Chain A
Amino acid sequence: MIALERREAPHPWAPLAIPLISIASAFAAGAVVLWLAGVNPMAAYADLLGEPFGSGFGIAETLVKATPLILTGLAVLLPARMKLWNIGAEGQLQLGAIGAAWVALFTPIGHSPVAMLGVIVAGMAAGALWALGAGALRAWLNVNETITTLLMNYIALLFVDYLIYGPWKDPASRGFPLSATFPLDARLPIIIPGTRVHLGLVLALVAVVIVTVALSRTRWGLEVRVIGDNPRAARYAGMNLARHTLLVMGIAGGLAGLAGVGEASAIAGRLQRGLSPGYGYTAIIVAWLAKLNPAAVVIVAVLLGGLYLGGDSLQISLGLPIAVVNMLQGLIFFFVLGGEVLAGYQVVIGRRRVEPVSTGSRAAR
């Protein structure tokens, strides 16, 4: 007979093997869905995977997409270390874009030498405040942050629509819902000439370093880790959970807001619809695949960023919606979840070997 039995310790190859096998399985399952829908899976995958890593430009574009994923990934990761689920990175990103647009277009700072700084600060502050709404509800009233952050995503998107269809509509846009373009001073500079890779990438990497060091080497990081591991022990040890909740959500919102600043100010150059194809949701997968390790977020973000790029390419070559990428991401998430659990078990075939019994009372069989 075949049975699953708990292992005493995970297989040594597990940390590497699980993600790889899971991703491969997800692609296999995805191929089935594609095929059922009348799409040639091999052609689709060739495009999907070839584009991001097949050329210099592809790699650069992958980095462009990885930048917001790193930031939103951190925005999900940090609260998750305290067992808080921030599903609102998408909305916080939008608020970051709104904050950036406001400074760039509607304040004198937008045309001053400190425009870029102003844009960054405003965007991060806007994102932080947006997240703090849900954070405060959780910290003071114990309201489930999963649902509130999520609902605020919808509100944020509507807020953007309101602004670009209404008070912030660019008079020169002839009816299209767009804000005016940001003044050059307020746009984040390109750091690799000939590509769209911008300062946001550097800021993202700096954020990764700061978060890594903070979590592992500071008193604050220790408190965050204790709260995440056992909130009752944290309270017993005298830690203030409410204050930590607020702080962590605020920082997360700020990071996601920074992603929004990058997308609005460097990539699009204005406030518009569709700044994000769902980065805030992909960020959940990024954080999970990275096993809540900030450094690993970079690698995962690059991989999933590449997937998004491949999806763009599929739109052009095969006319498939970008949603294919979301579907594949969902499948990856499923298989990784399943794989992690199964890694804690081993398959046992046949009857279990009986250990030699020590001398002791033993009735004759």
Chain B
Amino acid sequence: MVQPSPTVAMRAITKRFPGVLANDAVDFDLAAGEIHALLGENGAGKSTLMKILYGFYQPDAGEIRLHGTSVRFRSPRDALARGLGMVFQQFMLVPSLSVTENVLLSLPRARLRLDYRDAAARIRGLAARYGMVVEPAARVWQLSVGEQQRVEILKLLALGAEILILDEPTAVLTPQEVRDLFTALRRLAAEGRAVVIITHKLSEVMAVADRVTVLRSGRRVESLRTTATSARALARLMVGREAFDQVQREPVPPGPEVLAVEGLSALNDQGLPALRSVSLAVRGGEIVGVAGVAGNGQRELGEVVAGLRPPTGGRVRINGRDRTRASALEVRNCGVGHVPEDRLGTGVAPNLSVADNLLLNRYRDPEFGRGPLLDRRAMQDEARRLIDEFGIRTAGPAAPVRTLSGGNLQRLILAREIGTHPRLILASHPTRGLDVGATETVHQLLMNQRRAGAAILLLSEDLDEILLLSDRIAVLYAGEVVGIVQTDRVTVETLGLMMTGARAAGAGSGVR
């Protein structure tokens, strides 16, 4: 039997960025008609490798062959012209433009004058063929995340892409939407196209991929057919050792109610309702996880409780006192720690020192200064203590925070927000973008606080994380609490259904 030559063959690809070797002589093959998963932890080099294939980066060394001929893509435009398309984690769509305009933008420069009607018709046709319905005149910012992803794929299909690369496509989808996506992908592969999924989720690899290539620390570890391996074996290849034992959630006697949200409503940045009469409560010693796909109100809920967004109705009570209109400072003074969603963008001042950032919530305390002047020595000492206690790897208290790695940055933020043993912790997507080891640490720290009696409100898109850590789970859909359930008594399927708006039988809403 003749082995057909791979559609894409990457050989000895090497890419270096300042301070890091992202890809170290990596080989990668892709055949037509297959779904090939590129698996690895965060930071393993998967995205970089595919961005090189797509022409977004240039490799420092190595060769790429497409259908047997050596190619060098100087930009995504070249790759697109040769039938290669990529859907990124952050969608490459212009939010203020319509779906039609975004598709037109990606089509090759045919003529100067734009023909909106023709383009819209083409989009509708393609969408119907693959069951990915979307309204061409809608502006992208009006679409849901799942719909935006559809637009991205339609864009590539309109260009006639034969090879599709998807970077972490399921991170922002509900379980049902993931199933729909996989169905569409299988249909595309059956038509002879080649699909690459970049992912770190083992279950998805086993569910949809034909082959899997594992990357670790910039190097290719192995490529196998998924039929010839197991999730456990892949985990070992991915991490290089046996996976850690996951945290155990032991029963903790519930304490007094720390956070109570009653009938809370709020608008989002666009002025549209983001929260509609949300009610829930968190007691000391328990973790309440808020599940829901991005865009359904999680972010706004966290911001309102933290005092960063004014509500339009309802009440927030912290430790029994009304804090609905409290400022961020007042909320913090109630003994609230807030681990923000966007580490670098919101959580730290990147060019200031580690010490300054570690004490961003305590520099007003009398122990760190007399009158207007700061006691720098006291700050340095306390910073050193926190660095030791939380194992933050840094050159020292004076080092600028931007030199810290993602995992250490999160340690710093946790040290700051948790180190004072707050009564209430707001944790927003605390392990996003972290590797397995760092994720473990974060989970452990949160569990420790729970055992010590803190109340924790956990906002996360990662259902696995929510199931692992939470005592109770509240599901948000379109700004409403669809249900609040005990973790021990719910299944992933039920949660997935709730995340699409279906109310589960027996799941109370607003029941404490």
Touch between chains A and B, by CB atoms below 8 Å = yes
- Identify the A interface with B (CB < 8 A): 6-8, 217-220, 222, 225-226, 229-230, 232-240, 352, 354-355, 357-358, 360-363, 365
In the A-B complex, the 9 residue pairs with the closest CB atoms: A238-B329, A229-B349, A238-B328, A360-B219, A8-B18, A230-B349, A218-B372, A226-B349, A237-B360
Chain B: minimal CB distance from A7 (Å)? 8
Q: Give the chain B neighbours of A217 by CB distance below 8 A.
A: 373-374, 376
Chain A: minimal CB distance from B338 (Å)? 7
5 A-B residue pairings within 8 Å (CB atoms): A238-B307, A238-B329, A238-B330, A238-B331, A355-B14
Q: Give the chain A neighbours of B307 by CB distance below 8 A.
A: 238
Q: Known interface pairs A8-B19, A229-B350. Does A219 touch B360 (Cβ–Cβ under 8 Å)?
A: no
Distance between Cα atoms of A244 and B148 in the complex (Å): 40
B16 CB within 8 Å of chain A? yes
Q: Known interface pairs A219-B363, A222-B356, A229-B349. Does A365 touch B373 (Cβ–Cβ under 8 Å)?
A: no
The answer to whether B308 touches A236, judged by C-beta atoms less than 8 angstroms apart, is yes
Q: Mark B10-31, 1 if CB is under 8 A from A, else 0.
A: 0110101011010011110000
Chain A: minimal CB distance from B451 (Å)? 27
Distance between Cα atoms of A328 and B356 in the complex (Å): 40
Q: Known interface pairs A226-B352, A363-B27. Does A237 touch B361 (Cβ–Cβ under 8 Å)?
A: yes
Q: Which of B193-216 contact A (CB under 8 A)?
A: none
The answer to whether B340 touches A236, judged by C-beta atoms less than 8 angstroms apart, is yes
Q: Give the chain A neighbours of B340 by CB distance below 8 A.
A: 236
The answer to whether A218 touches B373, judged by C-beta atoms less than 8 angstroms apart, is yes
The answer to whether A361 touches B347, judged by C-beta atoms less than 8 angstroms apart, is no
Chain B: minimal CB distance from A192 (Å)? 34
Distance between Cα atoms of A358 and B329 in the complex (Å): 51
Closest to B219 in A: A360
Q: Known interface pairs A219-B374, A220-B372. Does A235 touch B27 (Cβ–Cβ under 8 Å)?
A: no
Of the candidates A235, A358, A362, the one whose C-beta lies within 8 Å of that of B308 is: A235
B369 CB within 8 Å of chain A? yes
Q: Give the chain B neighbours of A357 by CB distance below 8 A.
A: 12, 14, 24-25, 61
Distance between Cα atoms of A7 and B373 in the complex (Å): 37
Q: Give the chain B neighbours of A355 by CB distance below 8 A.
A: 14, 16, 21
Q: Give the chain B neighbours of A232 by CB distance below 8 A.
A: 342, 345-346
The answer to whether A362 touches B352, judged by C-beta atoms less than 8 angstroms apart, is no
B364 CB within 8 Å of chain A? yes
The answer to whether A236 touches B219, judged by C-beta atoms less than 8 angstroms apart, is no
Distance between Cα atoms of A214 and B300 in the complex (Å): 36
The answer to whether A361 touches B219, judged by C-beta atoms less than 8 angstroms apart, is yes
The answer to whether A360 touches B372, judged by C-beta atoms less than 8 angstroms apart, is no
Closest to B329 in A: A238
Chain A: minimal CB distance from B31 (Å)? 16
Q: Give the chain A neighbours of B350 by CB distance below 8 A.
A: 229-230
Chain B: minimal CB distance from A243 (Å)? 11
Distance between Cα atoms of A219 and B371 in the complex (Å): 9
Distance between Cα atoms of A230 and B345 in the complex (Å): 8
Closest to B222 in A: A361
Distance between Cα atoms of A329 and B313 in the complex (Å): 56
Closest to A223 in B: B363
Question: Chain B interface secondary structure, helix, strand, loop or mixed?
Answer: mixed
Chain A: minimal CB distance from B332 (Å)? 5
B351 CB within 8 Å of chain A? yes
B348 CB within 8 Å of chain A? yes
- Identify the B interface with A (CB < 8 A): 11-12, 14, 16, 18-19, 21, 24-27, 60-61, 219-221, 306-308, 327-332, 338, 340, 342, 345-352, 356, 360-361, 363-364, 369, 372-374, 376
Closest to A354 in B: B61
Chain A: minimal CB distance from B241 (Å)? 18
The answer to whether A236 touches B60, judged by C-beta atoms less than 8 angstroms apart, is no
Please name 12 further chain A to chain B contacts, defined as beta carbons within 8 Å, in addition to the given A222-B363, A236-B308, A354-B14, sorted by A numbering.
Answer: A7-B18, A8-B18, A218-B374, A219-B372, A225-B356, A236-B340, A238-B331, A240-B329, A354-B61, A355-B14, A358-B25, A360-B25
The answer to whether B60 touches A354, judged by C-beta atoms less than 8 angstroms apart, is yes
Chain B: minimal CB distance from A349 (Å)? 16
Closest to A360 in B: B219
Distance between Cα atoms of A363 and B26 in the complex (Å): 9
The answer to whether A362 touches B25, judged by C-beta atoms less than 8 angstroms apart, is yes
Distance between Cα atoms of A4 and B329 in the complex (Å): 46
Q: Give the chain A neighbours of B331 by CB distance below 8 A.
A: 238
Q: Known interface pairs A236-B340, A354-B60. Does A222 touch B374 (Cβ–Cβ under 8 Å)?
A: yes
Chain B: minimal CB distance from A231 (Å)? 9
Of the candidates A225, A238, A352, the one whose C-beta lies within 8 Å of that of B349 is: A225
Distance between Cα atoms of A225 and B349 in the complex (Å): 9
The answer to whether B347 touches A365, judged by C-beta atoms less than 8 angstroms apart, is no
The answer to whether B348 touches A230, judged by C-beta atoms less than 8 angstroms apart, is yes
Q: Give the chain B neighbours of A218 by CB distance below 8 A.
A: 372-374
Q: Give the chain A neighbours of B25 by CB distance below 8 A.
A: 357-358, 360-362
Distance between Cα atoms of A240 and B16 in the complex (Å): 42
Distance between Cα atoms of A219 and B308 in the complex (Å): 22
The answer to whether B328 touches A358, judged by C-beta atoms less than 8 angstroms apart, is no
Q: Known interface pairs A218-B373, A220-B372, A232-B345. Does A362 touch B356 (Cβ–Cβ under 8 Å)?
A: no
The answer to whether A229 touches B352, judged by C-beta atoms less than 8 angstroms apart, is yes
Chain B: minimal CB distance from A10 (Å)? 12
Q: Known interface pairs A230-B349, A236-B338. Does A360 touch B373 (Cβ–Cβ under 8 Å)?
A: no
Of the candidates B60, B327, B376, the one whose C-beta lies within 8 Å of that of A352 is: B60
Q: Give the chain B neighbours of A239 by CB distance below 8 A.
A: 329
The answer to whether A361 touches B27, judged by C-beta atoms less than 8 angstroms apart, is yes
Distance between Cα atoms of A235 and B329 in the complex (Å): 9
Of the candidates B220, B356, B372, the one whose C-beta lies within 8 Å of that of A361 is: B220
Closest to A227 in B: B349
Distance between Cα atoms of A273 and B308 in the complex (Å): 49
Q: Give the chain B neighbours of A235 by CB distance below 8 A.
A: 308, 328
Chain A: minimal CB distance from B190 (Å)? 30
Q: Give the chain B neighbours of A354 by CB distance below 8 A.
A: 14, 60-61
Distance between Cα atoms of A133 and B369 in the complex (Å): 33
Q: Give the chain A neighbours of B26 by CB distance below 8 A.
A: 361
Chain A: minimal CB distance from B415 (Å)? 15
Chain B: minimal CB distance from A227 (Å)? 9
Chain B: minimal CB distance from A80 (Å)? 14
The answer to whether A365 touches B363, judged by C-beta atoms less than 8 angstroms apart, is no
Q: Give the chain A neighbours of B348 by CB distance below 8 A.
A: 230, 233
Closest to B338 in A: A236
Q: Known interface pairs A219-B369, A222-B363. Does A362 touch B27 (Cβ–Cβ under 8 Å)?
A: yes
Closest to A361 in B: B220
Distance between Cα atoms of A225 and B347 in the complex (Å): 15
Chain B: minimal CB distance from A141 (Å)? 17
The answer to whether B347 touches A233, judged by C-beta atoms less than 8 angstroms apart, is yes
Distance between Cα atoms of A222 and B361 in the complex (Å): 12
The answer to whether B332 touches A238, judged by C-beta atoms less than 8 angstroms apart, is yes
Q: Give the chain A neighbours of B327 by CB distance below 8 A.
A: 238, 240
Closest to A214 in B: B372
The answer to whether A362 touches B60, judged by C-beta atoms less than 8 angstroms apart, is no
Q: Known interface pairs A218-B372, A220-B372, A226-B360. Does A358 touch B11 (Cβ–Cβ under 8 Å)?
A: no
Distance between Cα atoms of A89 and B351 in the complex (Å): 28
